[in-house]
Structure 1
Amino acid sequence: MKQAELYDLFGELDAGVFLQKVSRGLADCALGAVTTGKPGKVVLTFDIKQIGSSNQVHVKHAIKMAKPTPNGRVTEENSTETPVYVGTGGKLSVFPDKQEPMFKGSQQQAEG
């Protein structure tokens, strides 16, 4: 997977909210690390399961953060799911590679 494709996918997970959570988690842990001198930690987890017999998968994406504080640490966990299409070569997107006609015969009616 190319870097741009990965960034696009992260932007699509949970309608863009997942990318915001990752960004916020990194910022909070980094701030905690520089203000306390203690290490912080951000862990991303992805569980992938096929939806029926389709070319779609449920991607369960989770973030776990441990922000250091002067007297310990604050931890937070968050998990959500996004259905994703698996395209050519394993490309992941919330949109299919090809869009099938919604209604049978609709393309013929539109052309005729």
Structure 2
Amino acid sequence: MKATDPGEFIANLNAGVFNQQLGTALSEVASGVCEHGKKGKVTITLELSQIGETHQVKVAHKLDYTAPTKRGSKREDTALETPFYLTANGLQLFADNPTGQMFTKDQAPVTART
């Protein structure tokens, strides 16, 4: 099995919304760190669990960040879940070929009109 591409994996969490939230968190924390000279923190937590007895996993993802302010800090967190397929190419949002044919020509023959 190939290793999962972390960039693609993060981009697929919550249909791309998690990626945007992470970018916003990193920018806000970095801005607070530079403006106020205090430390900030961004934490990503991922928990994986199997869905039934399939080759699917549920990824619970949480983004938690603390940005320093003039008199303290500002904190925000968000948590959701995204299902993934475990394939030979690692974790993927869809099965190998989600739009492929479900049946072969032998299984569902189409006869010509006369």
TM category (shorter chain) comes to: 0.7 to 0.9
Give the CA deviation at 1:62: 0.4
In 2 relative to 1, CA 44–110 (structure 1 residues): closer, same or farther, beyond 3 Å? farther
- Cross-structure match for 1:15: 15
Percent identity reads 33
Number of equivalences: 109
Higher Rg of the two aligned structures? 2
Unmatched segments (≥5 aa) in structure 1: none
Measure, in 1, the Cα distance between the counterparts of 2:103 and 2:14: 28
Unmatched segments (≥5 aa) in structure 2: none
TM-score, scaled relative to structure 2: 0.84
RCO higher in structure (CA 8 A, sep ≥6) = 2
In 2 relative to 1, CA 106–79 (structure 1 residues): closer, same or farther, beyond 3 Å? farther
- Cross-structure match for 1:85: 85
Give the CA deviation at 1:6: 1.1
Q: Is the 8 A contact 1:101 1:107 kept in 2?
A: no
Runs of 4+ aligned residues of structure 1 deviating over 2 Å after TM superposition are 97-112
**Helix, strand or coil: the match of 1:52?**
coil
TM-score, scaled relative to structure 1: 0.85
- Cross-structure match for 2:69: 69
